[in-house]
């Protein structure tokens, strides 16, 4: 009888342990599955978030580069636009010409070309009857000695158009003030001739200026490199 009781008790304990193990497994297994699924979900969310951030960063970089290119294109005029601006600045319809003075002058004694003259000038109100002319230029001997400068201002000029010679000339005739070593010389007879659309000549009465510029005209151009290439003149 005792043997049967012990056997029954052992079987009961085994069955009870089995039931507890199955209960524990059933409780823990869903937790493991849930934890695994949650981990996978978190990992996928992190990957999606990182991919989204990468796309946004790449798009931001692309937009920034595009904006820089657009700004550069819009702020840098093309060659055609620059030529158009130059033509507008030096168009008589706009009453304004900015040009350069570049000339060789004869020496008053030897009559040889010994003096270099270089500078700038500006003509305003060109389409009116009484335009304005101002000039500033350096003057030096070809050997580099005796450097000095001159100014032409306070002009009283009258516009004359001369097409008889077929050279499409515009003449400004009158007087001006010219700075000299001993001070300004006023009421100097002055003639400025625009030859076509490219050349300019300046005549200042030699008798009034003691033949300082020789017996040759002062020549220049009706364009200025400082307008076309600003960096050269800064």
CA 43-38-53 angle, 5° bins = 30
Final residue of a domain: which of 76, 103, 126?
76
Our count of domains for the chain comes to 2
Rounded CA-CA distance 63/84 in Å is: 32
Calculate mean pLDDT across residues 49-54: 56
Q: Both 122 and 37 in a single domain? A: no
Q: Does one domain contain both 32 and 142?
A: no
- At 227, the pLDDT band (50, 70, 90 cuts) reads confident
**84: pLDDT confidence band, cut at 50, 70 and 90?**
very low
Domain of 130, in residue numbers: 83-233
- pLDDT value for 199: 94
Contact 84, 108 (CB under 8 A): no
Clarify whether residues 30 and 101 are in a common domain. Answer: no
Task: Assign 129 a pLDDT band (cuts: 50, 70, 90).
Answer: confident
CATH of the domain at 155: 2.40.160
- For residue 230 the two structure tokens come to 């600003």
Last residue of a domain, one of 76, 93, 121: 76
How far is the C-alpha of 117 from the C-alpha of 199, rounded, in Å? Answer: 15
Please give the angle made by the CA atoms of 41, 46 and 49, to the nearest 5 degrees: 125
Percent of the chain clearing pLDDT 70 (strictly above): 57
Q: Where does a domain end: 19, 51, 76?
A: 76
Whole-model pTM? 0.59
Claim to verify: residue 64 and residue 156 sit in the same structural domain:
no
Q: State residue 72's pLDDT score.
A: 42
Indicate the range of 39-48, 158-167, 176-185 predicted with least confidence.
Answer: 39-48
| pLDDT single digits (tens) 85-112 | 444 444 445 589 999 999 999 877 777 7
pLDDT at 9 over 90: no
Domain match, 192 and 229 both: yes
């Amino acid at each position: 009888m005792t043997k049967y009781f012990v056997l029954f008790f052992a079987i009961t304990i085994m069955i009870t342990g089995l039931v507890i193990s199955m209960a524990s497994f059933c409780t823990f297994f869903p937790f493991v599955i849930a934890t695994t699924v949650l981990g996978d979900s978190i990992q996928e969310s992190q990957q999606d978030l990182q991919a989204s951030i990468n796309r946004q960063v790449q798009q931001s970089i692309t937009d920034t580069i595009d904006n820089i290119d657009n700004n550069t294109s819009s702020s840098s005029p093309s060659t055609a636009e620059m030529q158009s601006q130059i033509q507008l600045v030096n168009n008589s319809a706009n009453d304004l010409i900015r040009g350069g003075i570049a000339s060789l002058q004869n020496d008053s004694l030897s009559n040889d070309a010994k003096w270099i003259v270089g500078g700038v000038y500006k003509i305003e109100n060109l389409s009116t009857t009484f335009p304005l002319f101002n000039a500033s230029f350096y003057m030096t001997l070809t050997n580099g000695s005796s450097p000095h400068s001159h100014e032409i201002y306070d002009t009283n000029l009258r516009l004359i158009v001369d097409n008889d010679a077929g050279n499409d000339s515009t003449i400004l005739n009158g007087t001006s003030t010219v700075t000299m070593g001993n001070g300004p010389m006023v009421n100097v007879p002055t003639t400025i001739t625009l030859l076509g659309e490219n050349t300019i000549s300046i005549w200042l009465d030699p008798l009034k200026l003691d033949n300082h510029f020789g017996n040759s005209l002062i020549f220049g151009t009706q364009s200025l490199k400082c307008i076309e290439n600003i960096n050269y003149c800064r």
